[in-house]
Amino acid sequence: MGVGDVSSPGPRRSLPVLLLVSVRPEQWTKNLFVFAGVLFGQRLNNASSVLAALGAFAIFCGLSGAVYLCNDVADRTSDRAHPLKRHRPLASGELKASTALVAAGLLFAVSVAGAALMSAPLALTAVAYALLLTLYSAVLKHVVILDVLAIAAGFVLRAAAGAIAVKVPISEWLLICTTLLALFLALSKRRHELTLLTSGATGHRPILQEYSPYLLDQMIGVVTASTLVAYCFYAISPDTASKLGTTRLGVTIPFVLYGIFRYLYLVHLKREGGSPSTLLLSDRPLLVCVGLWSLSVILVLYSPLGR
């Protein structure tokens, strides 16, 4: 099958299946950032706060699904030149653009309505997130450096929405660490696209002509160091100890170190990193690391062991 072949690789799928594939549930792990507020706000043992965080998670899954549908409509021509994306329902021609846009509109309306029922600030954050990603799709993804900064801003809005949903203060450390980690993932993704598609990279994503593997490696190096330093300072900060009531958050640092180094290993030596969500679910050592980090944070913040 040639690169320009847009036929479906298998039996024709039903409309619900095509829509489900197009909203990319495998990417919903990105929305786990909304749980940072309930976790570090020490509200994980509060049922109403957990439900509010779950509600925010569902809202952002709906919003991200709506944005993915719109993106796939806009990018369906260029996606046909991509070795993996050409099998997406819109790129392959299985799903009509008009159907996808109607579904996107419904998802957006339901998600914003759900956010408004929870609180006005959450609804504003949800709308800001949708507007940011729309602006990214229309303009910012074509502007060097601003493209990855916009992606990072989307993660920050997710984390802020989680804090708003459970009514805890939005920590400056939360915003800093989220921004840096998101930049790390976005730059790694750009590097993967550039090295995977080689000469066809700029045809698929024109902004890639503004980057080079060397430049991206330099930027990733800066962001990697900044992420590790920021998290270490947060973990051992006296202000953090005062707010959280524990001085033992530093025990979680080794998991952060291993997780970032493992991700760099996968990006550079295994040529992965195109989809952080997929990589998290498919790489067992990385998944175990994230699980152990989460468990260690819970033990430090919620058990007598952390005191």
Residues 35-71: tens digit of each pLDDT: 999 999 999 999 999 999 999 999 999 999 998 898 8
**Residue 5 — very low, low, confident or very high, per pLDDT cuts 50/70/90?**
very low
Establish how many alpha carbons lie within 13 A of residue 283's alpha carbon, considering only the half-sphere containing its beta carbon: 21
Quick one: average pLDDT of 155-182? 93
Amino acid 160: pLDDT: 95
242-280 per-position pLDDT tens digit: 989 899 999 999 999 999 999 999 988 877 766 777 888
Domain count of the fold of the chain = 2
Amino acid 2: pLDDT: 41
- Write out the residue range of the structural domain in which residue 50 sits: 15-170
Q: Among residues 170, 188, 208, which one ends one of the domains?
A: 170
Amino acid 114: pLDDT: 96
**Tokens 């039903």 identify what position?**
14
279-306 per-position pLDDT tens digit: 888 899 999 999 999 999 999 999 886 6
- Fill in the amino acid letter for 75: D
Give the global pTM: 0.85
Quick one: average pLDDT of 147-166? 94
User: What count of residues does the chain have?
Assistant: 307
Task: Examine residue 9 and state whether it is found in any structural domain, yes or no.
Answer: no
Q: Among residues 137, 170, 203, which one ends one of the domains?
A: 170
98-121 per-position pLDDT tens digit: 999 999 999 999 999 999 999 999
Question: Do 88 and 101 reside in the same domain of the chain?
Answer: yes
Question: Do 60 and 120 reside in the same domain of the chain?
Answer: yes
Task: Examine residue 7 and state whether it is found in any structural domain, yes or no.
Answer: no
- Fill in the amino acid letter for 235: A
Q: Among residues 170, 189, 212, which one ends one of the domains?
A: 170
Token pair for 133: 């990603």
Task: Examine residue 4 and state whether it is found in any structural domain, yes or no.
Answer: no
Amino acid 202: pLDDT: 52
Task: Examine residue 5 and state whether it is found in any structural domain, yes or no.
Answer: no
C-alpha dist (Å) from residue 33 to 28, 54, 194, 226, 273: 10, 11, 27, 19, 19
Task: Write the CATH number for 91.
Answer: 1.10.357.140
Quick one: average pLDDT of 158-185? 93
Amino acid 1: pLDDT: 38
Q: How far apart are CA 47 and CA 79, in angstroms?
A: 43
| DSSP structural state of residue 28 | G
**Residue 307 — very low, low, confident or very high, per pLDDT cuts 50/70/90?**
low
Task: Examine residue 266 and state whether it is found in any structural domain, yes or no.
Answer: yes
